[in-house]
Structure 1
């Protein structure tokens, strides 16, 4: 019943396949006992950091990612048998017994088949109801929400994000609600934030700060609008073919101000080492894929606060579009702060 690990998501910029390389370098060229992952994304880097550090600080400003961190890394006890029973009851529900809801009205026969969309909306309402009636605690609530995100990610009629759905007949009646596998964090100090990186960066101290900011114009809150909508569950009005709500939670790292914002963050950080990952999509043919911060701009900012080492690795990263990034490389900067 517990099926999903933290990195079992399709997510732009996911670093899960690079973790061995990244941490081999971090362990060799840094020292410390606290690790701040300030653009955590899927949380796979923070999960790996559990193997090496006693204190992990996790941050991302998406609502859905914050819920996922609380589910996987949380300290509150949860009842595994209770969650299994809830999942079993959900999977036994018949479509004919479910009423039309916000989710299937908007996303049925688009991002999901009609039956699956109705079931997703029902599950989301059911989780909320159980929380209001105090049948589940906060950790169990976050585990169930995260399990829903991971379960629907496996069947979504998309190329891996929610910028658009695939315009063809949609497979239906294939949703299985499986649970996530929360992490073992005993003996670790875990702190979870949902803040803008630059605001958090000026008030948190850590030995090592890991930076993996968005580098192009694709806003994550728009790429994953459907997941954000499902987690917040405010049922907003939706617009356009992609059925997005009004803009919110937009990142300056996806705008032309990105180099200035990055420089500002680097100069504010209170740490011994700054570790930055960067991929060379800068010469991409797609304007939305072009990096807003250049290699040279990153290096200039880092060199102003300390001494920087650069490592590179050939890597074909997860790309949901049609752009073919030939000779693609991942770069790792490690700066020892003055």
Structure 2
């Protein structure tokens, strides 16, 4: 079956909460221009697509950017051509392949040796056939490879480490993603610093779900970033990571200052913020860099604040236990400050 946008493992994914979040947006916000500033899996944008005329979708990961282009861009592509590539990739005999960058680095670690050979071969083949592919087709093939890799990865859901002490079975099967029909929509895809992006544009509704703890997503998903960019960097350490790049200030001690700057510079009618209470976690890497009190204080300065909360066990790829875990949604009606705030618990 073709992959939909939520068919991947991703820390902080809002897939299971998406219907609740979209319902809150529909009940409390109005407008046709929607901005997903820290889009992650892209699930919120996907669910809003049918209800809006203009979408801004942004994230700082290279792998997420290529996935958005594959799913959302309103560009022509040949499904017949893509099916031809799929059939060829499904017929690959790993035993006849030479070792490559992926198998040399990630074989018998993040993937079986054979699967790593196939992944490396496919990624190189996509690059070598760039002249046969338009940008949309190339994005679809790379995104499809990332989704197919995720199903075969020997991990707990991210690439900060691989699972040791067992034989890794061959399980990689290439399949295509299922792009959305974005005709008639104005789609803007970017890989920008969110704090800089919001200074340039205005929107009706802005959805904000930044990383809140010290775990850098560019390091968590370094294998996907590596395959996407295909620069074949030298790798270091047991987890085979490249030199650090694309590091977020939201994962550092400056997070509260950066968040306040973001909110102050937003030009929109409604702000929707996702937040969870992992700042009470026993794990230092899971503790939120911005407290609940700071979030509320900053948002109240922008307008009328509504708060919604729901018990929820988030996707947790590690061993951290979160007691009384809740997901919170804040909705701000910008500019209307002299109204009491309200709290809703589900």
What TM-score do the two structures reach when normalised by structure 1? 0.98
Task: Indicate the SS of the match to 2:197.
Answer: helix
Task: Indicate the SS of the match to 1:87.
Answer: helix
Residue 170 (structure 1) shift: 3.6
Structure 2 counterparts to residues 206-217 of structure 1, below 5 A: 206-217=203-214
Task: Indicate the SS of the match to 2:51.
Answer: coil
- Residue of structure 1 aligned with 2:201, choices 187, 201, 204: 204
**1:321 is aligned to 2:321:** no
**1:334 is aligned to 2:321:** no
Task: Indicate the SS of the match to 1:179.
Answer: coil
Q: Distance in 2 between matches of 1:3 and 1:170?
A: 28
Residue 188 (structure 1) shift: 1.1
- Residue of structure 1 aligned with 2:258, choices 251, 258, 261: 261
Q: What corresponds to 1:48 in structure 2?
A: 47
Task: Indicate the SS of the match to 1:332.
Answer: strand
Contact in 2 for aligned 1:114/1:172 (Cα 8 Å):
no
Q: Distance in 2 between matches of 1:170 and 1:250?
A: 33
Q: What corresponds to 1:33 in structure 2?
A: 32
**1:143 is aligned to 2:129:** no
CA deviation map 1:271-292 (0-9, x unaligned): 0111000001111010000000
CA deviation map 1:75-120 (0-9, x unaligned): 1111111111111111111123212111100000000010100110
Residue 335 (structure 1) shift: 0.4
Q: Distance in 2 between matches of 1:162 and 1:128?
A: 23
**1:79 is aligned to 2:68:** no
CA deviation map 1:10-66 (0-9, x unaligned): 000000111111111111111111000000001001001112111110000100000
Contact in 1 for aligned 2:22/2:44 (Cα 8 Å):
no
Q: Distance in 2 between matches of 1:140 and 1:39?
A: 25
Size of the aligned set, in residue pairs, is 335
Q: What corresponds to 2:341 in structure 1?
A: none
Q: What corresponds to 1:16 in structure 2?
A: 15
Give 4+ residue runs of structure 1 displaced > 3 Å after superposition.
none
**1:184 is aligned to 2:181:** yes
Relative distance call for 1:143 and 1:170 in structure 2 (3 A) is farther
Q: What corresponds to 2:343 in structure 1?
A: none
Contact in 1 for aligned 2:222/2:242 (Cα 8 Å):
yes
Contact in 2 for aligned 1:312/1:332 (Cα 8 Å):
yes
Q: What corresponds to 1:106 in structure 2?
A: 105
Structure 2 counterparts to residues 170-319 of structure 1, below 5 A: 170-319=167-316
Q: Distance in 1 between matches of 2:18 and 2:154?
A: 29
The Cα RMSD (Å) is: 0.8
Task: Indicate the SS of the match to 2:223.
Answer: helix
Is there any run of 5+ residues in structure 2 with no aligned partner, and where?
Answer: 336-346
Contact in 1 for aligned 2:311/2:327 (Cα 8 Å):
yes
What TM-score do the two structures reach when normalised by structure 2? 0.95
